[in-house]
């Protein structure tokens, strides 16, 4: 195999010359997206039309996405909305793809094969190998795209798993040196710490954990510091997890599969996380179709999943990615990891949120306190986690247990963990809707 990556180097201008009208381009997820390519893409807007670009959890406000003057040139689709996508959704050239993480690449490949796949990887090593920080769908795209253009960056950590690319697998390389985009390690609030205090006693030593992004998972992670031999089987590897490994709480010794290894399908966090990952063979970044397949997750006993939601109805349906019909984020691995945990022997899945939101009125911009536990989901809400799959729901007022519980039992438990100001109204509505008996 030819290890000489220098033969494949091109400039950003040469890369952009490869793009034609109506091409379908896929870029990597979050910190694996091709930043340089996207920063320059708007420069070809006057010579192309209808170039469709698929992104997921994009990290920057690229000109080609946010400037309405490029609407004819580019069509956008995303599997996970960010503030940028929420802002441009109404532009007419932006759309959302409903999707479970573990079938992301399978769905995409069956429906539409990319003309160009572009992403960023670590700098080639002496054997000509580079690594992705995400293998959610990137390896699958690389294998089928007509043209593969990768950005190589010395600032990206060298990682291991089913995320290795050899220079001979790639058509072109562009040398770049931007910093790895970071996800902040959010400082938990009082409410986050309260929620964590209910969850931590339920997590046994030796459990395998999945933690989502945000303040509450971070609060839970802090509380896990005194646990023993925890393991990691997660979609996203976070800064909190790196801290727990360094502190000795996570060893992976009790895992049934990938014993002693920390398994994820992408890693997204702070510089502390990226430094920890660099040349660290204990962390495996494997393909999303394997890692977050619920049947595979379930192979570990005591699998724990912790995810957040926006709105829950009194029967336990979780609208985690939309506010009514307005797309907010995406399903990501929420349903996959919750189902996997539920199938695992002695597994547990937690849905966490603050009982209220200080919601902004879309018309007036005024803020008012609303309950996130509601009698019925607002019209058009996307149910990310079905009531049949939901297990434990947690607010700062306690835990509501859903599995095996009747609708009436669910209502009573959920009302008990709603904010006290809303409990009476929720009870009245539950009776009116026939969810609870009249007396």
Q: Does 309 bind ligand COA (CB under 6 A)?
A: yes
Integer-rounded Cα Rg, in Å, for the chain is: 22
Considering only 163, 238, 240, 311, the residue that binds ligand COA (CB under 6 A) is: 311
Number of residues that bind ligand COA (CB under 6 A): 26
Q: Does 308 bind ligand COA (CB under 6 A)?
A: yes
Considering only 307, 315, 317, 395, the residue that binds ligand COA (CB under 6 A) is: 307
- The smaller minimum CB distance to ligand COA, of residues 28 and 332, is found at 332
Only one of the segments 43-51, 281-289, 352-360, 397-405 lies at the binding site for ligand COA (rule: CB under 6 A); that segment is: 352-360
Q: Does 396 bind ligand COA (CB under 6 A)?
A: no
- What character string, x for contact with ligand COA (CB under 6 A) and - otherwise, covers 363-392? -------x-x-----------x--------
To the query of whether residue 235 is one of the catalytic residues in this protein, the response is yes
- The smaller minimum CB distance to ligand COA, of residues 15 and 338, is found at 338
Q: Does 236 bind ligand COA (CB under 6 A)?
A: yes
Q: Does 334 bind ligand COA (CB under 6 A)?
A: yes
Only one of the segments 92-100, 272-280, 358-366, 428-436 lies at the binding site for ligand COA (rule: CB under 6 A); that segment is: 358-366
Q: How far is the CB of 338 from ligand COA (least distance, A)?
A: 9
- The smaller minimum CB distance to ligand COA, of residues 106 and 166, is found at 106
- The smaller minimum CB distance to ligand COA, of residues 116 and 319, is found at 319
Q: Does 214 bind ligand COA (CB under 6 A)?
A: yes
Q: How far is the CB of 429 from ligand COA (least distance, A)?
A: 16
Candidate list 33, 138, 235, 429, residue with the active-site label: 235
Give the footprint of ligand COA on this chain (CB under 6 A).
Answer: 212, 214, 235-236, 307-311, 320-321, 323, 328-334, 357-360, 370, 372, 384
Catalytic residues: 235
């Amino acid at each position: 195999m030819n290890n000489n990556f220098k033969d494949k180097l091109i400039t950003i201008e040469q890369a952009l010359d490869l793009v034609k009208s109506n091409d379908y381009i896929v870029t990597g997820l979050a910190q694996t997206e091709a930043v340089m390519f996207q920063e320059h893409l708007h420069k070809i807007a006057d010579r192309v039309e209808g170039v469709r670009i698929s992104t997921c959890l994009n990290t920057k406000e690229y000109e080609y996405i946010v400037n309405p003057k490029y609407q004819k040139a580019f069509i956008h689709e995303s599997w996970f909305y960010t503030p940028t996508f929420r802002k441009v959704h109404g532009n007419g050239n932006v759309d959302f793809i409903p999707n479970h993480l573990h079938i992301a690449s399978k769905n995409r490949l069956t429906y539409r094969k990319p003309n160009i796949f572009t992403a960023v990887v670590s700098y080639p090593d002496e054997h000509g190998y580079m690594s992705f920080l995400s293998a959610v769908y990137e390896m699958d795209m690389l294998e089928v795209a007509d043209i593969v253009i990768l950005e190589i960056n010395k600032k990206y950590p060298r990682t291991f798993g089913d995320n290795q690319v050899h220079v001979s697998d790639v058509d072109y390389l562009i040398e770049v040196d931007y910093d790895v985009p970071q996800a902040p390690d959010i400082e938990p609030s009082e409410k986050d710490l309260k929620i964590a205090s209910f969850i931590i006693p339920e997590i046994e030593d030796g459990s395998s954990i999945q933690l989502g992004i945000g303040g509450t998972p971070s609060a839970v992670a802090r509380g896990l510091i005194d646990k023993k031999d925890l393991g990691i089987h997660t979609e996203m590897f976070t800064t909190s997890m790196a801290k727990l490994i360094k502190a000795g709480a996570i060893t992976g010794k009790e895992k049934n599969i990938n014993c002693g290894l920390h398994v994820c399908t992408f890693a997204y966090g702070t510089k502390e996380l990226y430094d920890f990952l660099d040349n660290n063979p204990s962390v495996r970044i494997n393909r999303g179709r394997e890692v977050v397949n619920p049947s595979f997750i379930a192979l570990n006993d005591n699998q724990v999943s912790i995810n957040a939601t926006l709105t829950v109805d009194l029967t336990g349906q979780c609208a985690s990615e939309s506010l009514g019909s307005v797309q907010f984020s995406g399903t990501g691995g929420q349903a996959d990891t919750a189902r996997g945990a539920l199938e695992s022997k002695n597994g547990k899945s937690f849905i966490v949120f603050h009982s209220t939101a200080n919601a902004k009125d879309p018309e007036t911009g005024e803020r008012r306190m609303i309950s996130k536990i509601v009698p019925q989901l607002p019209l058009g809400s996307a149910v990310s986690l079905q009531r049949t799959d939901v297990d434990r729901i947690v607010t700062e007022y306690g835990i509501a247990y859903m599995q095996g519980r009747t609708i009436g039992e669910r209502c009573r438990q959920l009302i008990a963990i709603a904010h006290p100001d809303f409990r009476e109204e929720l009870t009245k509505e539950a009776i009116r809707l026939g969810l609870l008996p009249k007396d």
